[in-house]
Amino acid sequence: MKYRNDLRNVAIIAHVDHGKTTLVDELLKQSHAVKERGQDKDRSMDSNAIEQERGITILAKNTAVEYNGTRINILDTPGHADFGGEVERIMKMVDGVILVVDAYEGTMPQTRFVLKKALEQGVTPIVVVNKIDKPSARPEFVVDEVLELFIELGAEDDQLDFPVIYASALNGSSSLSDDPADQEPTMNHVFDTIIDHIPAPVDNSDEPLQFQVSLLDYNDYVGRIGIGRVFRGTIRVGDQVSLMKLDGTFKNFRVTKLLGFLGFDRVEIQEAKAGDLIAVSGMEDIFVGETVTPADHQEALPILHIDEPTLQMTFLVNNSPFAGREGKFITARKIEERLMSELQTDVSLRIDSIGPDSWIVSGRGELHLSILIENMRREGYELQVSRPEVIEREIDGVKCEPFERVQIDTPEEYMGSVIESLGYRKAEMQDMINTGNGQVRIIFLAPARGLIGYTTEFLSMTRGYGILHHTFDQYLPMIQSQIGGRHHGALVSIDTGKATTYSIMSVEERGTVFVEPGTEVYEGMIVGENSRENDLTVNITKAKQMTNVRSATKDQTSVIKKPKKLTLEESLEFLNEDEYCEVTPESIRLRKQILNKNEREKAAKKKKKAE
């Protein structure tokens, strides 16, 4: 069997923030793939504004470097389980993976998630222990932990024999020794290990073509772009080919453009052979998992599995009293067009219209959906969204719900409160490890609906010292009881106007206020969190009566507490089932679905009767 020894295809996988993207940047820099462009900013692979702000990778990116006459195609993958659909498909495109693990944190929930996907595809692993320069680094312990994880996930014997490189991607150094003093200012150890250990692709370019789409991109000029691997044969510009659709039908078209990758650039190429990773444009309705073959030899590759959504929200046209003030795109038609365009590239997303002005949007998790909402508001859209809800499924006649694997790192003193709070949310403790320095790591299996809104409670409970990670585990029989939810009611404005310092002072003793003086509010808008369980209507626009009588306390200045500003994620977590989050380019407001107090009370009574 012939092999293409001048080519290697490798993906970089890791838990969030363990240094994948920094490592890819350093490999690009040291292979001189980006020098001539003068583009030397940090984490240049994360091109999206939200990716750069949050330091996370949302979309898989591909690039390529040349090293000693070998082309290495590198795919940088997301670490968040919410974008796991991307990781799974990328494993089909490569022959090996580089697993990046933090030299102090070791294996984390998403390390487990991405490694499981890689081992299932039977690819060859290399382990890079990153951040070796950290004073708290414990490389020996971490390598043992990685080996245990490989065994636990059922790795084959040859996969267990993985090479380990110790590196500091930030400093651009690496070595084969776990002693930080032995670090050398080069990434050649990584390049050499890739060439020595990752199998070269099979060269069967003289057989009939098979090219499968694993990722989608979209461009206003050429439409959909299918990115994938040539598994067999050769594809050339001008070829007449068949696109084997997922439903078994096929479409014929002519290849108008082929693109290869080098550094940050997509380079136009005339042909690609077995083993190459390329992008093909010119097919309007190409979709992930579809195969391109010659018209006279239609043989489709197995369809790629795409993770099903586990969480859904209702998106609605904004109908609040302030609707249309701040957004550029506010109509149902514009919102629907934007949601449909998201489907062009995001295959884990589902959108169902449930009325002229509302849609059910289903995704892989809170982060997946909140990033879509954040992108929309930055682009000038105005909309309302409901509280996130888990998607239930019937499996073998049993009603099931998604469960998540939760990993918590917390100081010992908060351990009791954490266990108690998760017990209340019907989580089951699986493991507890004392990691030293007064820190404990606890693993739980928890129903996903119990984790909606938990992050804020967890952070206040652990005074911000706790770290919480969770990732989808499996569907299990549904727990027949109320889980989680908000413990406190809302402070709801009874009036429309501007919030005043005077009225905020009188409301403060009732709970936590979300607005500052001068903020415009409307009747039914949520202006704070009540310290008790019930909702409370408050007048936050009342001004102090002016009299000509001198006050005894005149010289005392009014001081109010700083209001609690909620981020988009915190706002979504705060929502109850009778509330909406109003999202505009300038504001995030919380509101009751029924704005009028009397109508709200009538609806609540009706609901109680029906129950």
CB 350 within 8 A of CB 362: yes
Q: What is the DSSP string of 281-333?
A: E--TT--TT-EEEETT---PPPPPP-PPP-EEEEEEE--STTTTSS-SB-SHH
CB 466 within 8 A of CB 450: no
Nearest in space to 75 (alpha carbons), one of 278, 333, 307, 314: 278
130 annotated as belonging to a binding site for a ligand: yes
d(CA 281, CA 218): 9
Residue 317 main-chain phi, psi, to 5 deg: -70, 140
CB-count exposure of residue 220 (10 Å: 0-12, 13-18, 19+): exposed
Q: How far separated are the first and last CA of the chain, in Å rounded?
A: 69
From the DSSP assignment, how many helices (H) and strands (E) are in the chain?
15, 35
CB-count exposure of residue 459 (10 Å: 0-12, 13-18, 19+): middle
Cα 456 to Cα 55, 130, 417, distances in angstroms: 20, 30, 14
Q: Helix axis angle, 415-424 relative to 454-461, nearest 10°?
A: 160
Q: What are the tokens at 217?
A: 């991109």
22 annotated as belonging to a binding site for a ligand: yes
19 annotated as belonging to a binding site for a ligand: yes
Cα 197 to Cα 119, 120, 128, 187, distances in angstroms: 16, 19, 13, 16
Cα 393 to Cα 147, 339, 579, 595, distances in angstroms: 35, 24, 25, 33
132 annotated as belonging to a binding site for a ligand: yes
Helix (H), strand (E) at residue 461: helix 454-461
**At 163, which amino acid appears?**
P
The annotation places the binding site at 17-22, 130-133
The binding site for GTP comprises 17-22, 130-133
